[in-house]
Structure 1
Amino acid sequence: MIDTILMPLGAGLLQAFEPLNLLMIFLGCLAGLFVGALPGLGSVNGVAILLPVTFLVPPTAAIIFLAALYYGAMYGGAVSSITLGIPGASTAVATVFDGRPLAQQGHADRAMMAAAVASFIGGTISVVLFTFFAPPLAIFALKFGPPEEFALMVLAFATFIGLGGDDIPKTIFSILVGLVLAAIGLDIISGQPRLIFFDIPGFLHGINFLVLAIGIYGIGEMLWTLEHTQGKVELHKVNTSWAKFKENLGYIKSYFGSTILGSVLGFFVGTLPAAGATPASLMSYGLAKTFSKNPDSFGKGNVSGVAAPEAANNAASTGSMLPMITLGIPGSPTTAILLGGMIIWGLRPGPLLFQEHPDFVWGLIGSMYIANLVTLVLNLALIPVFARVLALPFTLLAPIIFTLCVVGGYAPTNDMHDVWLMLLFGVAGYLLRKLNYPVAPAVLAIVLGPLAERSLRQSLIGSQGDATVFFERPISLICILIAIALVAYPFVNKMLAKKNGD
């Protein structure tokens, strides 16, 4: 079996090293880096905007370019998350939690190196898994029906409640607020409007997740910083010398375990249709915090809090291509656009693609290995450039951040309603921070809420309202039992501590 994989993989690598394909990889990674860093764009819009340009080159080179752009954009979101506290895309929201505090402490270079290295490791592990386990993983992913998907979402919520380290009632309140916001819009079964406040038409399309994220982490962070600096100039000088670079390399071992965990989890979640990199990165952050020896340091500048979600979102981007290539089912919005491009070029994704177009498939897989390396080199080389943003006084950064937030809030739907909503979320995020309420669970809830609702209602419709369907299927039962154990953990821990104290 290994020989049947290594031979075509070698041919694919040689094809990826052809001058045109190599140029496409470099340009794709570089373009993706900047597309991902601009709030409101992200990989989906980047691939959609640049898709027509690729008709100038052969199909293999075109898909290699778009896949490389996808890779670059996954890291690019980390740049603005760390330097400005604004997630460039929804996949980089979890990176803000610890990336921004690290930057404010003068360690932006360490955070960006962690993001680059974790992205490289996550991408490499996922490509290796993609290469060797594509057929069996595709079959296993198909076993995830609505009950399993819902149980997985419950497990993600339980991770934040049981092991988040925050005040549990406040965490639950934050999750419930996020779920309410996720329910705004049209009912997914009846199509009836729900929670349309004051009959404002803008609420009919629901709350765009990026609007919430940019409001809370962009506007909210800006208001918090302005309050604490009192308008004084605050410089975050970053040392980007060679000695500092070598020192940052030494931190790799501290987040290596979290990176491996995020890579494997991210790839697996990415293979699930309609899951994608955002849930993967948030779940990876939660698990990294769970297994950390110092969970209280998360949210205050723990480098593992940057590495885990970055490894996960890069691994998930590769994982989401697995069902697209092997089954013709896109695993994320970006791969849905890639799927459309492949069909335009006469390439029909599915089980027969490996047989009918082996040169294309293995050339694409080979390009993933090279794109990972190119992205790593570009990221490390550009750290001093990105770090210079932090050398600007905040009196100059504040209007830039505000402008980027407004553009990012307007871009997804081209609706001014979302801009006003983003400003409202910014004020709400600022107040929540002052009252010491965690906002990460609310962000998690608004991402996973629609997925959880869809899976729950599909499951109950399929079982004619019988809730035992979640306990009859092995995978969903295991996820729910783990979720119950996680929620019970802090209470049991408190009881044991009280008993030992007595």
Structure 2
Amino acid sequence: MEILSLLGDGMLIAIQPLNILLILVGVTVGLFIGAMPGLGSVNGVAILLPITFLVPPGSAIIFLAAIYYGAMYGGAISSITLGIPGASTAVATTFDGRPLALKGKARLALVAAAVASFIGGSVANIFFTLFAPLLATVALNFGPPEIFALMLLAFATFVGLGGDDIPKTVLSICFGLVVAAIGFDQISGAPRLVLFGMNGFLGGINFLVLAIGVYGIGEMLWTLDTTRGEVTSSKADISAKGIITDTGETFRLGWKGMSIGSVLGFFVGILPAAGATPGSLMSYGVTKMLSKNPKEFGQGHVSGVTAPEAANNSASTGAMLPMLTLGIPGSPTTAILLGGMVIWGLTPGPRLFIEQSDFVWGLIGSFYVSNFFALVVNLAFIPLFIWMLRMPFTVLAPLIFVLSIVGGYAAMADMFDVWLIVLFGIGAFFLRKFDYPVAPAVLAIVLGPIAEPTLRQSLLLSSGDPTIFFTRPIAGPITFVAIILILLPALKYLRPAKARPAE
């Protein structure tokens, strides 16, 4: 009952006129920041951080958290309407969101993304409110072996993303891991795979640059090639009745993805250095693996939208937990929020809940309010997003190209990244032409920089003994499950081919 009383006090703080205004402005600005390729929640929060010095610290972090929420919702918009992920957290949404839009079901995809984001955020808020101190302690027990075991489990789900051609899927994953290794070695500091001596490779491959190239330029080239430019605009009814109907369809067809994404996303989000991107990718893979019709994923399955969208919103709330309770940021965006709290004279950690109770519970209360307003704002702007899709593809294709180039340049202000975008786009196009799955390579590039250092740190801890992944109480079960999932596809090659039924 004490928690409910504190939450009630926090909600009263969150609905004060100034805070309500900041939440409404924050989620709206965040929605469009998330939808713009190359920006995302990290850049949005960083750019708007100086504005917060005009308001009290409690209102300031409520405003920044609202931007964070809005950006998590907004990342799906360009993924669905243009096929360009607004941020790395929305890459998995592209897999099924864009095919739905091309089938004329853009409204269903946008409603599914909004509703799943709301459900994921709501579940995460409840977990956060009830179990914050306990979950923070569990997250603290995750060392390098546990995080590597979790990454191995994520890789195990990738095999299902490449269809039935397992060798091509494994090759795609290996290619992604090689690309992820470009740049300076995180442990020794030595440069690796710096192609042709180009200094641009020393900083590694920016994942956002890769995602924009593959899913922006590559998708545009693929669409032009397969349709010879004869792409008709998407038609969709944008009435309130239609949105309500699609909400029902979302729950009917995408409930499993929402459930998996909401829970899995939160627990991945609370792990330091994990964040929303691995959570959304893992949720997509697990949902596909547990689906009765996995072959429908990638063709426009509603659960392929609800799983990553529920997960990235759930993970964004989960990432706040170690920041507030331990002073350890769970994602790049929460690292900026942590810096803001220090500037405002607040010290994150266990005593924050005691010494600054009004601040903490006001922030937690704002999570609930921001989540609701983000849903309302998102649904209100669906007609605008549908209007974007009504443009002929002869107009959309140049727009996608310009947005991809500008978004890639805006991320690091480096022309080298622009050339990489074009190169990755052409490469992705030819991979699809030769029936190589692109998704496993992209996902390997996301998790490679997390998996490699944790693997090496674990082996350093154990003096090179790999049994450390099997003997630790948390890492052991995760590793066993991951190995079983990796070996499962091999069984179909061992089974004798079934006789075809008589025609």
Q: TM-score range by the shorter chain?
A: over 0.9
Q: CA deviation at 1:85?
A: 0.1
CA contact (8 A) 2:78 2:85 kept: yes
CA contact (8 A) 1:42 1:88 kept: yes
Q: CA deviation at 1:481?
A: 1.0
1:139 is matched with: 137
2:374 is matched with: 375
- Alignment RMSD, CA only? 1.4
1:52 is matched with: 50
Residue 198 (str. 1) matches residue 196 (str. 2):
yes
Residue 102 (str. 1) matches residue 110 (str. 2):
no
1:153-198 C-alpha deviation (Å, 9 max, x unpaired): 1111111125753311111011001000000001112211110000
Aligned residues: 500
Give ranges in structure 2 of 5+ residues lacking alignment. Answer: none
Residue 91 of structure 1 aligns with an amino acid whose one-letter code is T
Q: CA deviation at 1:250?
A: 2.2
2:123 is matched with: 125
CA contact (8 A) 2:14 2:20 kept: yes
Q: CA deviation at 1:109?
A: 0.4
Rounded to whole Å, the distance in 1 between the matches of 2:363 and 2:244 is 33
Q: CA deviation at 1:258?
A: 1.4
1:101-154 C-alpha deviation (Å, 9 max, x unpaired): 000000010000000000000000001000000001000011110001111111
Equivalent runs, 1:63-462 vs 2, <5 Å: 63-161=61-159, 165-232=163-230, 234-251=232-249, 252-462=251-461
1:221-273 C-alpha deviation (Å, 9 max, x unpaired): 11111122323352112221234223212212221121011011000000000
CA contact (8 A) 1:166 1:438 kept: no
1:178-221 C-alpha deviation (Å, 9 max, x unpaired): 00000000111221111000000000000000111000000001
1:296-335 C-alpha deviation (Å, 9 max, x unpaired): 0000000110000000000000000000000000000000
Rounded to whole Å, the distance in 1 between the matches of 2:453 and 2:132 is 27
Residue 410 of structure 1 aligns with an amino acid whose one-letter code is Y
CA contact (8 A) 1:164 1:289 kept: no
Residue 24 of structure 1 aligns with an amino acid whose one-letter code is L
Rounded to whole Å, the distance in 2 between the matches of 1:473 and 1:181 is 31
Residue 172 of structure 2 aligns with an amino acid whose one-letter code is S
Rounded to whole Å, the distance in 2 between the matches of 1:166 and 1:342 is 49
Q: Secondary structure at 1:51's aligned position in 2?
A: helix
Moved more, 238-247 or 140-149: 238-247
Q: Residues 396 and 164 (structure 1 numbering): CA distance in 2 closer, same or farther, change over 3 Å?
A: closer
Q: CA deviation at 1:496?
A: 4.4
Rounded to whole Å, the distance in 2 between the matches of 1:487 and 1:401 is 37
Residue 221 of structure 1 aligns with an amino acid whose one-letter code is E
CA contact (8 A) 1:163 1:490 kept: no
Rounded to whole Å, the distance in 1 between the matches of 2:87 and 2:183 is 22
Residue 136 of structure 2 aligns with an amino acid whose one-letter code is A
Residue 404 of structure 1 aligns with an amino acid whose one-letter code is L
Rounded to whole Å, the distance in 2 between the matches of 1:423 and 1:309 is 27
CA contact (8 A) 1:95 1:305 kept: yes
Rounded to whole Å, the distance in 1 between the matches of 2:228 and 2:347 is 59
1:39-98 C-alpha deviation (Å, 9 max, x unpaired): 000000000000001111111111000001000000111000000000000000000000
Q: CA deviation at 1:474?
A: 2.1
Q: CA deviation at 1:438?
A: 1.0
Rounded to whole Å, the distance in 2 between the matches of 1:85 and 1:201 is 30
Rounded to whole Å, the distance in 1 between the matches of 2:31 and 2:177 is 32
Rounded to whole Å, the distance in 1 between the matches of 2:231 and 2:417 is 31
Residue 462 of structure 1 aligns with an amino acid whose one-letter code is L
Residue 330 of structure 2 aligns with an amino acid whose one-letter code is G
Q: CA deviation at 1:370?
A: 0.6
Residue 97 of structure 1 aligns with an amino acid whose one-letter code is F
1:486 is matched with: 485
Q: CA deviation at 1:494?
A: 4.8
Equivalent runs, 1:19-34 vs 2, <5 Å: 19-34=17-32
Q: CA deviation at 1:449?
A: 0.2
Match among 59, 62, 69 for residue 60 of structure 2:
62
